[in-house]
């Protein structure tokens, strides 16, 4: 119990799309992890995801060919900069990155009848909800449209766990 607020009440709450989804699961966990910064995760996952997303962006923008060999060469150039808790994790994670790039390339070359409009497009939205100022920011991995004029926001997942159909519907980010 405190007489002073834990956070500045006039400061907007900063959320990513995944953090906003996490609020539905447990607001206390969100607060402890993101506002109080009580849990520091020691994992290579953010670096791993950033590298895979960066390579996918290069392919989407035509800067790098849609070729697994070329992508693996690009991956090799930056891989040693990622930190792992243990040395044995590096080759295992590199194999996961290879699989993620293979999945991306298979998806990328598949004809879906869509046109690419943006890749790694940043957004920053401010809202007022029930007297609280919210700021949601992040980036769309891809924004595409089809011939019917429908817009698709694509969110690449680089994690090992493939969400079930029910999880994907529940967490539609």
CA distances from residue 154 to 36, 40, 114, 128, 132 in whole angstroms, order as listed: 31, 28, 12, 26, 29
For residue range 28-71, what is the model confidence (pLDDT) as tens digits? Answer: 776 777 666 555 554 555 677 889 999 999 999 999 999 999 99
> How high is the pLDDT of residue 25?
76
Report how far residue 160's alpha carbon sits from residue 42's, in angstroms, rounded to the nearest whole number: 17
CA distances from residue 117 to 14, 57, 145 in whole angstroms, order as listed: 27, 12, 7
Task: Show the tokens assigned to 103.
Answer: 């999945």
For residue range 105-161, what is the model confidence (pLDDT) as tens digits? Answer: 998 989 889 999 999 999 999 999 888 888 888 889 999 999 999 999 998 887 656
Residue 15: pLDDT band (50, 70, 90) is confident
């Amino acid at each position: 119990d405190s007489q002073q607020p834990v956070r500045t009440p006039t400061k907007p709450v900063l959320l990513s799309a995944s953090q906003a989804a996490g609020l539905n699961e447990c607001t206390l966990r969100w607060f402890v992890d993101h506002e109080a910064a009580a849990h520091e995760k020691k994992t290579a996952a953010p670096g791993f995801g950033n590298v895979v997303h960066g390579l996918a962006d290069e392919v989407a923008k035509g800067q790098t060919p849609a070729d697994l060999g070329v992508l693996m060469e690009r991956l090799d150039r930056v891989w040693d900069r990622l930190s792992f808790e243990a040395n044995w994790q590096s080759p295992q994670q590199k194999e996961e990155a290879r699989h993620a790039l293979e999945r991306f390339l298979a998806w990328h070359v598949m004809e879906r009848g869509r046109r690419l409009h943006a890749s790694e497009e940043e957004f920053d939205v401010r809202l007022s909800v029930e007297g609280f100022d919210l700021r949601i920011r992040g980036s769309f991995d891809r924004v595409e449209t089809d011939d019917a004029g429908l817009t698709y926001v694509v969110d690449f997942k680089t994690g090992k766990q493939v969400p079930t159909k029910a999880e994907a519907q529940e967490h539609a980010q």
